[in-house]
Chain A
Amino acid sequence: MTQDDRFTEIARKAARDYNDPPELSRGDMDAMWSAIERESFAKPFRTPSAVRPVPGSPWSWATRGILPLAATLMLGVGIGRFALPRPQTAPAEIGPRTAATDTVKVPEPYQNTTSRYLGQTTALLAALPAEVKEGSADEQFLRRAHDLLLTTRLLMDSPAAADPRFQSLLEDLELVLAQVVRLQSIQNRAELDLIRQALEQRDVLPRLRTAVADISADD
């Protein structure tokens, strides 16, 4: 190695701390996202049910992993759109919520499907701490979370979400499930803590259990 080469190597090492970037905190990420969202998505939120796959895009999760539950729901959404009027509700605020004191009402044609969906979601979220403890969420767990996220979005777009309390619960579940799906592997402790925080701050599990009980009582 010539002196020039050695000097270049030393200089390269010294260059690595040139404007050494700090770590971006979750707060920084969220703050930037708020501004981006305001600028880029001023239009109302459109659910993925309005989205069509582009040619060649790998919608394998959509074609492969659709649960019978989702299929039932899609049929139900179609029927419900004709059969039941859907009241206009203002978009729910994102933020901590308190557990609902009134019962959650879901239109009769959706009760079975919704009840099953809530049961499966409760089971998945309850299993999350164990998955975390083991340190490895398997493929099946994540696929289940993905399917439940899809079902959540279908429900949000259906008359089943006419009750604002249930709509609000679905929005929180969508957020949490999206975080779980995005997690992809249970290696990232910070992400897991955020999920735990979201679950606690939004009272998701107690509200979920209340909704399960309410809907089961209506069956």
Chain B
Amino acid sequence: MTSPAVAVEAQRFVSREPELIARAVAGDRLAARELYDAHAPRVFRLAFRFCGDAELARELTQETFIRAFAQLGRFRGDSALSTWLHRVAVSVISNAMRKVKRFRARETDLDEAAPIAAETRHADPDLRDALHRAIDELPDIYRTTLIMHDVEGYTHEEIAGVLGVAEGTCKSRLSVARAQLREKLAHFAKEWFA
């Protein structure tokens, strides 16, 4: 849960954002760095969730900000900067992943990217591996929604803003994604509740 101090700090930063954007557009590196410091960790997390590779996630984060700063002058403030930035990020990540998928064997990623974490207590390791594989196999639009909502905790409103779709569409994609996972993991469900 977010502490009140962190929430106040975040609110304070958001209120300074228009000023920082104006300064960054004018070429002020310190302002740009402040924006980068505030948003890069979340962009990196998202990139890593999609690709499972730290080096690639760093490259994607870098590319997101290079593209964002190049286009920042066109940002009109119709949405929050974070939404706009994540839209750029998702576009960069999706394009990269399409290329990466052609060259990379999926199994290697899964073995390397799924650490034995505390969550293991909550689910059978076999189920976890199968689930991760099933997420990998989801069509892109469902995978994106599922990762953002169920894995990274974005709200439907945020996802809809980032993907440029209606909230209803976002909810329906999530529901399809979950249904597909449930189907793929049906035998686990039977074992689990047998």
Contact = CB atoms under 8 A, between A and B. Distances in A.
Interface of A: 3-4, 6-8, 10-22, 24, 28-29, 31-33, 35-37, 39-41, 43, 45-48, 50-54, 56-59, 61-62, 174, 178, 182, 184-185, 187
A36 B65 contact: yes
A178 B30 contact: yes
Contact of A184 (B13, B44, B113, B114): B13
Given A14-B127, A32-B62, A185-B8, 12 more contacts: A4-B182, A7-B193, A13-B122, A17-B120, A33-B33, A36-B36, A36-B62, A37-B29, A46-B27, A53-B22, A178-B30, A184-B13
A167 to B, nearest CB: 16
B139 interface: no
B147 interface: yes
B84 interface: no
Given A15-B146, A16-B119, A182-B34, A8 B182 contact: yes
From A3, A28, A31, residue with most partner B Cβ within 10 Å: A28
Contact of B66 (A21, A36, A57, A62): A36
Contacts of A10: 122-123, 127, 192
Contacts of A178: 30, 33-34
A138 B58 CA distance: 35
Please report whether the interface of chain B is mostly helix, strand, loop or mixed according to DSSP: helix
A17 B129 CA distance: 10
A23 to B, nearest CB: 8
Interface of B: 5-6, 8-9, 12-13, 15-16, 18-19, 21-23, 26-34, 36-37, 40-41, 44-45, 48-52, 54, 57-58, 61-62, 65-66, 69-70, 109, 113-115, 117, 119-120, 122-123, 127-128, 131-132, 135, 146-147, 150-151, 178, 181-182, 185, 188-189, 192-193
Contacts of B192: 7, 10
What 7 pairs across the A-B complex have the smallest Cβ distances?
A14-B123, A21-B48, A57-B18, A40-B69, A19-B52, A51-B26, A46-B27
